[in-house]
Each structure stands twice: as structure tokens, then as C-alpha cells.
Amino acid sequence: MKQRGFAQGIFQQSSTKKEELGTLRIGSNGKAYRYALCGAADIPAGRFCVGVAIAAAHQNEAILETVAVGTKSLTVTVTAGTAIAENELADGEFLINDGTGEGHSYEIESNTAITTAGTAVTLALRRGIKVALDTTSEFTLVRNPFYGAVQSATQTLPLIGVTPIAVTAAYYFWAQRTGMCSIYSGTTVPVTGQTFAQEGVAGGITVSTSSDVIPDIGRCIYAAAATEYSPCWLSLE
């Protein structure tokens, strides 16, 4: 956890990246934040946002040749069908999910871009390969979970947190993860003391059902009217 020297204020946004995605920042009164990147649409203040799913075309892919110990730059082949923007994978992971080297994961420093039809992407890693890879090795490309924040009705995406300010598309911001916040309530409003979860309506929360799939993310401090904003205590860390 970084303790000081942050280049961007909690209630600021930036068109340029000033911290690693996912950097933890502790504020006051029990509040904590993670550095995130907004997706392709603006997000109002007080909205619950999520990240993007791992592309199926980038999971469980084969290493086609030997990769030596210490290698920090390599080109891998993925299934065509999903574009990757330049540095979209930065602060994410190159994970070896099967075969030789399985269980190891390497932070990605940068990546080249490919189109939907593209199949070869070059990765720069922050540390060298620990166990040499071969043709039995299989990998998965994992975006940082704080990349591409959106309001979504899908309740199984990476949980980013609440926007403490209105955020412009493609801007970097601090997403609130713990402590009291203002958050949009959907049509089913949690009452004081109730736990809540992400609603199946973009950007909002609803009464928790204690589901194994849709986790509890906080507790209501005071119930607001439906489609208004409630004071709630987040507990995502």
C-alpha cells in the first residue's frame, strides 16, 4: 500500500495515468479508495461501478514455443475475435494456468495493440519468467480489475466501487471501496442496518439476498426513497 506522495487528489480526475491501477489509498473516517480507469461512458457521482470480464479469446491459450527463464518481453498468440488496445493490459497479469510453469503470474508493464482479427500481442513484464515455459504451458491474459469502470446491470463483473465525483469517460479516478458514502438506490431500497448488494440496474444497489454469486458490499446507514441516494457504509476491502 502506498502511504503518501499521491499525484492525484481523491476528488480529482485525470486524462493521464498517475498511479498504477488498483493502488490502495486510505483516506479519513474509515474510507479507502482504489485507483481506476473509467470506461467508454461518463459515470455520475454516487454510482456503483464494475470492471470488464476477461475475454474468452484470451483464456487458456497455448504457449507455442519455449520461453527462457528471465524473459521480460515476449509475443504470445491469442484466438482472434477480441481487440486489445495499446497498454490495455498494463497493471494486469500474464498468468500461467496449466502445464509447465503453472501457478506463476507476472505483472504486465505494457502491451502492443491488436485488432479484432489480430492474434499476436507483445507483452512487457515487470519481472522475468521464473520457470521456463514450453508447448505444454497455457496462459490467460488478465486485465487489471480496476480497468474500464462502467455502470452495469451485470452482477458478476469485478467490483470496482463507488464514484465519489462525476467521472468523464476514459479518465482516471479514485473509486471508493470502504467507509460512508452517498450511493444510488434502485427500486428496492435497503432499510437502516440492512446489508446491500449491486442491483441488477446499472449503477445502483439493492437489498442483499446473501447470494454466493452476488456478494454483500456494505450496509445501509439510512434508507432513502427509491431512485434517490442513501448514506451507506461500503465494505469492499
Query: What tens digit of pLDDT does each residue of 186-227 get?
Result: 888 888 999 999 988 899 998 998 888 889 999 999 988 889
Describe the strand order of the beta sheet including 120-125 as a list of residue ranges: 61-62, 138-142, 93-98, 105-111, 120-125, 73-77
3-state SS string over 44-80?
CCCCEEECCCCCHHHCCEECCCCECCCCCEEEEECCC
Averaged pLDDT for residues 170-193: 93
For the cut 80, the answer to whether the pLDDT of residue 4 exceeds it is no
Separation between Cα atoms, residue 83 and residue 57, nearest integer Å: 10
The pLDDT score that the predictor gives to residue 1 is: 60
Averaged pLDDT for residues 116-139: 98
Read off φ and ψ for residue 203, nearest 5 degrees.
Answer: 90, -5
More confident residue, 111 or 4: 111
* Domain positions in the chain: 24-52+148-235, 56-142
Length of the chain: 237
pLDDT tens digits, one per residue of 71-110: 999 999 999 999 999 999 999 999 999 999 999 999 999 9
What percentage of the chain exceeds 90 in pLDDT? Answer: 84
The pLDDT score that the predictor gives to residue 3 is: 63
Helices then strands (H, E): number in the chain? 0, 15
Q: Provide the grid cell at 164.
A: 465519489
